[in-house]
Amino acid sequence: MKQYGAEFIGTFWLVLGGCGSAVLAAAFPGLGIGLLGVALAFGLTVLTMAFAIGHISGCHLNPAVSIGLWAGGRFPAGKLLPYIVAQLLGGLLAGGILYLIASGKAGFDVVGSGFAANGYGEHSPGGYSMVSGLVAEVVLTFMFLMVILGSTDPARARRLRADRHRAGPDAHPPHRHPRHQHVGEPGAQHRSGALRRRLGAGAALVVLGRAAGRWSARGGGLPAGRGPEGVTGAAAPGRGSPRRRAGRWRAE
């Protein structure tokens, strides 16, 4: 039942989003989305449902897809009729909701507007005949199913897994940054990390060495005196204090 419910929801969303864009937004005065916008709306609804229900029902959303998958031996015959029924019911519900939305506009005429329906002859946007429409539907549906059957072929997925297995783990090393990739050097990333650590340690030694040299050149040690708390031997916060000397080093 979960698969049938997914097909119901998916087809509902396809009709509401695709046909709704044609009815409500395609010819909106001054801001209509036109034919390109309607085409994108249909494509985006299919794409979103492929992510949402593809793992549940396969995201057929169309009796032609279900029948084509069954004819290709990729879909069980026992589920074919329930899938088609769920798709038709989802489309009918979406059409009803779309009618309720569109009829809320004053002067709306469902017959005169066409309600995003198309066909042949006078119902064709371009005035094409029934033969032209039939040929276009057959050829385009055939190519559509070829794409679906080819891209979801289980043998293709098995071949990809086999090729990756034959290539070995070094062909796709995990967590390797592109800057550390070197052909033929599986351990290049680790060597690069060790080199960075050594360079960092060397730079720190150079800085410490220069600081020690400047300290020695100035006489080194803390000047004897009485600090602000009266502790003998502490550096007074005057000219010779380490804080003042550190400030001069930064200025230099």
Asked if the model's pLDDT at residue 231 lies above 80, the reply is no
CA–CA dist 201, 38 (Å, integer): 62
> Residues near 176 by Cβ (< 8 Å), separated by ≥ 6?
189
pLDDT for 188 equals: 45
Planar angle of CA 83, 85, 90, nearest 5 degrees: 95
Between 164 and 143, whose confidence is greater?
143
Region of 175 please: left (phi>0), alpha (psi -120 to 50) or beta.
Answer: left
Asked if the model's pLDDT at residue 208 lies above 90, the reply is no
pLDDT for 114 equals: 74
DSSP string, 57-79: H----SHHHHHHHHHTTSS-GGG
pLDDT for 109 equals: 81
pLDDT for 235 equals: 45
Mean per-residue pLDDT, 21-42: 86
Q: Which of 93, 88, 85, 87 is nearest to 16 (CA)?
A: 93
> Per residue in 99-147, pLDDT tens?
999 888 888 888 777 787 888 888 888 889 999 999 999 999 999 999 9
CA–CA dist 244, 35 (Å, integer): 75
Distances (CA, A) of 113 to 24, 140, 169: 11, 27, 61
Between 229 and 97, whose confidence is greater?
97
Q: How many CB atoms lie within 10 A of CB 244?
A: 12
Mean residue pLDDT of the chain comes to: 77
Side chain identity, residue 224: A
